[in-house]
Structure 1
Amino acid sequence: MNEKQIQGMNVANLARKVLNHTPIFILDVRNESDFNDWKIEGEKVNILNAPYFDLLDGVDEILDQIPDDQEVVVVCAKEGSSKFVAEQLVENGKQSISYLIGGMKSWSEHLEPVKIADLNDGGTLYQFVRLGKGCLSYMVISDGEAAVIDAVRMTEVFEDFAKENQAVIKHTLDTHLHADHISGGRQLAEKTGGSYWLPPKDATEVVFHYEKLEEHSQLVIGKTEINIQPIYSPGHTIGSTSLLIDNQYLLSGDILFVKSIGRPDLAGKAEDWVADLRTTLYERYKHLSDDLIVLPAHFGTIAELGDKGQVAARLGDLYKENPGLNIHDESAFRRTVSENLPPQPNAYQEIRQTNMGRISPTMEEQREMEIGPNRCAVHDDRSK
């Protein structure tokens, strides 16, 4: 067997194929439970789960399920198993076979930048789509300065992107204390000499210095005065704070998503925070302009991505179409957001402790803590 026949595909290449709706076949050789919990999705992605341990004696049983007219990518957790299976497929005459370099761990960490808009006075707003985790981060660039919102722990991506755009990161902000992924906001601010902002009501247990992200304070990025206006919007956490950029874009954090709404239980305070969540969604947001473009901090399924890979929706449209904004009976709303919720995020307590600065896991431990889908929404749309 000549290993040179086996090609590896990097996550950036696979991400572009998914976002460009290029037909591709995924052979996922992880065990069935891991596959059912979390997989690669896409409009033109066909996928087959065949556990590696069932293929140790050969791939004969799945050969007729592997297409000859599509590119095939074999995927496992870290890479090794998928490379072995890819070799077996090639040995059996299959063509256009590759394996995903770094496996699902690498897929979980990849960020794809998408331009959202040119802002007033010459600035630009970008969204960073973490396809394998459902996280969304943002960067505002204006006159050589940048602010990053809800940064994930892969901070080099933001540093490199700012450098490519001749900008210096002056501010990093978290809309709330995250529970499903490790924030890179504080680390990014330390590396770039910027200021790290966090809602004070979410920061009662943090052990580091931060700037208070609260209403009536405005951050100005660049000389063109692109205003980032904080709006207190509790419910997912007690400190959740939305950001209004240029009076056109509402960064809703984990309060409001395109297809669902935020869950109030990730700090063990569901009963206490239900009323706050309802007030934010049914009163505070209701007073905002219908024409605001909502940009959330997460998405649930690939179906929420637009034609350019962006996750965004007009606020007025969400009030018509989002099920979580149309539960008019208060008791029914309370039941919806406090009962029959999807499983809580993997290692969410340890992630919260990390984001408070109270524990310092290694990079490998951080990867393990984050494995799996985000589960910040009331409804887990992945099963639909």
Structure 2
Amino acid sequence: MTVTKWTAADVARKVIENQSLFILDVRNADAFQDWKIEGHQFDYLNIPYFELLDGVEGILPQIPSDKDILVVCAKEGSSIMVAEMLSEADTTLSLSYLEGGMKSWSGYLEPIKVADLSGNGELYQFVRLGKGCLSYMVISEGEAALIDAVRFTEVFTSFAQEKNVTIKHVFDTHLHADHISGGRSIAEATGATYYLPSKDAEEVVFDYTPLEDGLTVQLGASNIDVGALYSPGHTIGSTSFVVDGKYLLTGDILFIDSIGRPDLAGLADDWVGDLRDTLYRRYRGLAEDLIVLPAHFMIIDELNEDGTVAKRLGDLLADNHGLNIEDEREFRSIVTDHLPPQPNAYQQIRQVNMGKITPDYDEQTEMEIGPNRCAVR
């Protein structure tokens, strides 16, 4: 059989539809251990490509003959080489390679409808499977609001054109440190208003509209509310949103299986009290039937059957360990003393999101390579 080319979109369907796949990852072992393509029914073999330069016969017993096989590398070239070598060694194998490698996987967004809203409105979640980022578009009667959009401007503007809506409002729940925001560039491209929490924006060098507690915007004649709720802790300005009275967009404060980390501006000890206050007072005062929609997910098991990342607030209040640490000193210790590694290039990413540096596209891609690390687990 010939080797075929798969796009990141093809792989995303395998993930979301819970299909089986065998991945031969030919990156170095440390890169594979740090970050890989995750799927519910995926099996893996990691053999660095330089170990296969003299032939692939030695790994053939480890390659299944009854599954699709995807060969993956960082940028594409090595995976093509290895896939072609395997095809020559065994013509019965179903072999493909990932176009653009892990770089393309890092940047792919899958839009998924979360729900219908009042007055024929719609809510979409854009799932960045390779990075764990989640962005949102709220649509109503020809108008749209974006929340926590990542840097791939065209994905959102093209989707808005497809839906025949005008992007009127663009929000960032906070100054992001793990990925480069697309909010400002989307607002510039569409004429939308760009909102950023003023407490996170003390060092930004561009104009923005302050995102303050209680701010509400309406979309379309149906007046779907997108209301801001000040919820500090991940950053001092972190702000959540309640959409249509039913959906709680929590930014990087609360996730499905974890809570936000307070240290990415170097102020963990200062912000841990704000984090606890948001999680244990502000959120516990909200209706438990609200559906939580976070800005990130950590592991593939957090995806629902339809590919969305969403869960009822009451269920998280009962089941999320970060919401059930009664002793405040224990909470402080867990949040400040047992943090995972910080995101790749997070200090430079913050500088980009402040407007202080303007790296080119390839440099931005390199900054964002790697897994999401916004949570305390």
The TM-score range, normalised by the shorter chain, is over 0.9
Q: Give the alignment's Cα RMSD to 1 decimal.
A: 0.8
Equivalences for residues 212-361 of structure 1 within 5 A:
212-361=210-359
TM-score in terms of structure 1 length: 0.97
Residue number in structure 1 paired with 2:7: 10
The 1-side partners of 2:215 and 2:11 are apart by 41
Q: CA deviation at 1:16?
A: 0.6
Aligned pairs for 1:79-158 (under 5 A) are: 79-94=76-91, 95-158=93-156
- Specify the alignment match of 2:58 in structure 1: 61
Q: Distance in 1 between matches of 2:173 and 2:214?
A: 15
- Measured after TM superposition, the shift of residue 217 of structure 1 is 1.7
Shift of 1:65: 0.7
The match for 2:366 among 365, 368, 373 is 368
User: Unaligned 5+ residue runs, structure 1?
Assistant: 380-384
Offset of residue 157 of structure 1 = 0.7
**Whole-angstrom CA distance in 2 between matches of 1:235 and 1:297:** 14
Distance 1:48 1:155 in 2: 35
Distance 1:211 1:255 in 2: 22
Question: 2:190: which partner in 1?
Answer: 192
Q: Secondary structure at the match of 2:195?
A: strand
**Between Structure 1 and Structure 2, how many residues are aligned?**
376
* Number of the residue aligned with 1:21: 18
Task: Give the secondary-structure state (helix, strand or coil) at the position aligned to 1:26.
Answer: strand
* Structure 2 partner of 1:40: 37
Asked if the contact 2:3/2:94 (under 8 Å) is kept, the reply is: no
Deviation of 1:6 (Å): 2.0
* SS of residue matched to 2:260: coil
Q: Deviations over 1:152-203 (max 9, x none)?
A: 0011111111111111111110000000000000000000111101011001
Which 5+ residue runs of structure 2 have no aligned equivalent?
none
- Report the more deviating stretch, 51-60 or 293-302: 51-60
Aligned partner of 2:72 in structure 1 is 75
Match of 1:57, SS state, is: coil
Partner of 1:382: none
Q: CA deviation at 1:222?
A: 1.3
How far did residue 223 of structure 1 move? 1.5
Question: Whole-Å Cα distance in 1 between the matches of residues 45 and 300 of structure 2?
Answer: 17
What code does the residue aligned with 1:156 have? E
SS in 2 for 1:77: coil
Q: Distance in 1 between matches of 2:297 and 2:106?
A: 14
SS at match of 1:21: coil
1:333 Cα deviation after fit: 0.1
Q: Where in structure 1 do 4 or more consecutive aligned residues deviate above 4 Å?
A: none
Shift of 1:120: 1.1
Give the letter aligned to residue 168 of structure 2: K
AA of the residue aligned to 1:107: W
Aligned equivalents of 2:214, 2:260: Cα separation in 1: 24
Q: CA deviation at 1:234?
A: 0.2
**Cα deviations by residue, 1:75-132 (Å, 9 ceiling, x for unpaired):** 0000000000000100101421010000000000000011000011211000000000
1:26-85 Cα offsets, whole Å, 9 max, x none, are 100000000000001111111111111111111122111110000000000000000000
What is the TM-score when the length of structure 2 is the normalising length? 0.99
Question: How big is each residue's C-alpha offset from its partner over 1:204-248, in whole Å with a ceiling of 9 and x where there is no partner?
Answer: 110111111111221111111011110000000000000000110
Identical amino acids, percent of aligned pairs: 64
Q: Partner of 1:168 in structure 2?
A: 166
> Separation in 2 of the partners of 1:50 and 1:269?
40
Q: Letter of the aligned partner of 1:18 in structure 2?
A: V
